[in-house]
Structure 1
Amino acid sequence: MAQTLYFPLLLIALCSISECVQRQYHFINELKTRTVAQQYCREKYTDLATVDNMNDVNQLIKFVKVNDRGVWIGLQGTNDIKWHWSSGGPVLFLNWASGQPYSRNNCTFTKNGQWYVGACNATWTFICYNMSTGLVFVNQMKNWRDAQSYCRQNYIDLVSVRNQNENQQLEKFINDNQISGSAVWIGLFRDPWQWSDQSNSSFRYWKPGVPYSPDDTHCGAVEMFDQGQWSDYSCSGSQQLPFVCHEDKLIVIQQKLSWSEALRYCRQNHVDLVSVQSEEMQNEVMNVVKLASTEAVWLGLHNYCSMNMWLWVSGDMVCYQNWAPGNGSTPENCELENRKGAVQSGGDQTWISRPESHRLNFICTNY
């Protein structure tokens, strides 16, 4: 029995300690207008800071060294309102009821298997998700913002639905919990804010009562005197603040190489082929893979045939998984085909298995 349990326990232990920083932040303690700060970051790093999740918030807070004023980040208002998922992923699937979304409300609830737009200050129960336990129904009445905060503090975030399969799983979960006829918050919302680097990230960390003026004359700033929460400042004039830049660590190489050639290229010119160890890292991959010229892009994912399992070239177990249907299992002839993992550059951008001799673009990492 001990031998039977050893490998699963080892896998759980290795997965639990795997952590990856998405990007490197650089705090610039110089007073500059938002336009000049953006130009500075683009010349010396990648751009003004993008923030994908609470891990990024905590990393950013470590670098900011002022407590008496706001600090520019890369979020700017626009005049174009778009739908987002609270978890930061792009919106690839929608399940609106007939006639929806019909109003100017900005938050989404599900009822009787379909989605409706609702007032964000309405109070309903909600569904969180967690990496280990999956979907979690919270039988507490909260407005959308408070439901989001609750999920982030106790689990990961409000539930996202990226495709028809996940929608079916959500509907089954709702039916199993006998809440189909009730309004239940999910993580879909819309707002007019956009990151300076054009990232798809929809993560927001506004302090209560803001943003005040969501238009193209206002930009986001971190306020350390409010525990690192965000406020909006006028950025069309002479307002000067310190700022935070970020430096991306993922690079799409638009050469068409076999998996082994791509691995050699990354290790000679950067650090390694990318390992995708979390949903946050998958979102980073999705942001950069759109630059690819091939239908799929190599990841650092290879099949360890003798053990009937997939591993990352970094040595990590495959804890987080994002396989397309029909992929991810070990083929019977895997030794002959020498299967490797890639991410689709279009569609749902899920992972697929391909013979290592296929010639694709690839993603290197500088972590």
Structure 2
Amino acid sequence: MDLDTVFVSLLLTAVFSSSAPRQYEFVQMKMNCTDAQRYCRENYTDLASIDNSADVTELLKRVNESADYAVWIGLMETLRSEWKWSLGDPVFYTAHDSLYRNWASNQTTNGVNYCAYMSRDGLWSNDSCNSQRFFVCYSDSSKGFILVQQLLNWRNAQSFCRANHTDLSSVRNSSENKQIQQLMNTSGVTAVWIGLFRDSWEWSDKSKSSFRDWASTEPHGNEGATVLVMSGGRRGQWEDWPCYSKFTFVCHEDQFILIKQNLSWSEAMVYCRQNYVDLVSVPSPQIEQRVMSAARRASTAAVWMGLHHYCSMNMWLWLRGEVVCYQNWAAGNGTGPQDCSEQRVGAIRSSGDQRWVSLPATLRLNFICTNSEP
């Protein structure tokens, strides 16, 4: 494949969305939270972080075979207490608009009250989360705010918004603040819960997500680590447990991303370069184990890697410039002269021995992108 072909592919290939669900890996070994964190960091990226309810659904699918009551995720208590939005997905915010605040001048924002409400003058105050107030939800489908004139505490208001809309309202700028204020004044409402809360929890990988899905009465505040409940009435919700407890756990992989679209090798390369960094390279057995893990979830018999053959020199190279030192070819693949009548590229089998195979670049397969720079 020459440079002109690559350029034409770049022009013709559709631009796909860059968003992709987290890639979760269920580890069926019971460990305390510290050992689970160490295992995930050594073998994947970290203990699982969660941005939104779609991530919870994906994670539940990955561990559906577990009979355990719960699994560790990466949320841990710290000594810092900060204000955050209930709609915690970082992609919802741009620049510093998650930091917009409009506190009333008499408010002490580091006191004992952990939930925020807006008054009819548009200024914010904090109050006990158990107080009963009307509230404002945000709907992602309509991109608008919904005033709910039902008296609920903050946690129940959050549950209502998530069940019926998207979440309790975030307020990212003065324009949104005025929109909510106008809703209140039109309806004669004097105060409403908004989605701002304060807690001392953060993700193991330092993710900026402030999404929380605590079960009722949780967290207790003195147990330090978080599990996702897998069974019973609390399935999908979170509880805090002491770190010395032993559970199976879920890691996430942010470096190697399986894309379940069937594309030619050149289309896959363009997709990865537009949305991540590049098609994956496999320079070592350690990296290959992680790539194999991603490939096992593929819907095609093999999965494209960033490996291609130069006929004029009869050699294989990685797209990102690395020399092919480590190799794991299946018998009859990759090691002898290649058929130069068509471009040959490398793929990894998605099952069985998961060795590498040499295939025509025009086949349409799933593929693995990498998120890391060389």
- The TM-score with structure 2 as length reference comes to 0.60
Residue of structure 2 equivalent to 1:73: 73
State the AA in 2 paired with 1:209: T
Structure 1 counterpart of 2:275, one-letter code: V
Q: How does 1:209-228 map to 2 (within 5 A)?
A: 209-214=217-222, 218-225=224-231, 226-228=234-236
CA distance in 2, matches of 1:273, 1:138: 41
C-alpha contact (below 8 Å) 2:118/2:193 kept by paired residues: yes
- Residue of structure 2 in register with 1:94 after alignment: 101
Partner residue of 1:108 out of 101, 113, 116: 116
AA paired with 2:132? T
Aligned to 1:273: 274
The alpha carbon displacement at 1:178 in A equals 3.0
8 Å contact from structure 2 (residues 213, 238) kept in 1: yes
CA deviation map 1:216-263 (0-9, x unaligned):
x6100011122121111111x3x2210001112699xxxxxxxxxxxx
Answer whether contact 2:21 2:58 (CA < 8 A) is retained: no
SS, match of residue 228 in structure 1: coil
**Equivalence for 1:312:** none
Instruction: Give 1:97 shift.
Output: 0.5
Give the secondary-structure state (helix, strand or coil) at the position aligned to 2:208: coil
Amino acid in the other structure paired with 2:24: Y
CA distance in 2, matches of 1:240, 1:266: 44
Q: Distance in 2 between matches of 1:222 and 1:195?
A: 14
**Aligned mates of 2:216, 2:18 — CA distance in 1:** 30
1 CA distance for matches of 2:181 and 2:26?
44
Matches within 5 A, 1:161-176: 161-176=171-186
Match in the other structure for 2:163: 153
Secondary structure at the aligned position of 2:99 is classed as coil
Partner of 1:139: 149
Q: Structure 2 matches for 1:25-40, cutoff 5 A?
A: 25-40=24-39
In structure 1, the partner of 2:247 is 241
Cα deviation, residue 119, structure 1? 0.6
C-alpha distance in structure 2 between counterparts of 1:250 and 1:150, whole Å: 36
- Find the partner of 1:127 among 116, 124, 136: 136
Corresponding residue number in structure 2 for 1:45: 44
Letter of the structure 1 residue corresponding to residue 179 of structure 2:
Q
Distance 1:59 1:101 in 2: 39
Equivalent AA in structure 2 for residue 223 of structure 1: V
Cα deviation 1:257-300 (Å, max 9, x = unaligned): xxxxxxxx99648714239xxxxxxxxxxxxxxxxxxxxxxxxx
| 8 Å CA contact retained: 1:131, 1:156 | yes
Which sections of structure 1, spanning at least 5 residues, go unmatched? 1-17, 252-264, 276-363
Structure having the higher Rg:
2
RMSD: 2.6
Residue matched to 1:332: none
Code of the residue aligned with 1:97 in structure 2: it is A
* 1:104-160 deviation per Cα after TM superposition (whole angstroms, max 9, x unaligned): 110011012110101101111100011233110111111100000110011000000
Find the aligned partners of 1:129 and 1:27 in 2 and give their Cα distance: 33
Distance in 1 (CA, whole Å) between partners of 2:272 and 2:57 is: 25
Structure 1 distance, partners of 2:240, 2:108, is 27
| Superposition misfits of 4+ residues, deviation over 3 angstroms | 18-21, 265-270
Q: CA deviation at 1:42?
A: 1.3
Matches within 5 A, 1:277-292: none
Percent sequence identity is 45
Q: Which amino acid aligns with 1:273?
A: Q
Distance 2:24 2:217 in 1: 27
Please tell me whether the aligned partners of residues 222 and 228 of structure 1 are also in contact (alpha carbons under 8 angstroms): yes
1:52-91 CA distance string (max 9 Å, x none):
1111111111112324332110000111111100000473
- Secondary structure, in 3 states, of the residue corresponding to 1:271? helix
| Letter of the structure 1 residue corresponding to residue 224 of structure 2 | H
Q: Distance in 1 between matches of 2:33 and 2:108?
A: 34
Task: Work out the number of aligned pairs and report it.
Answer: 242
Asked whether the equivalents of residues 266 and 273 of structure 1 are also in contact (C-alpha less than 8 Å), the reply is no
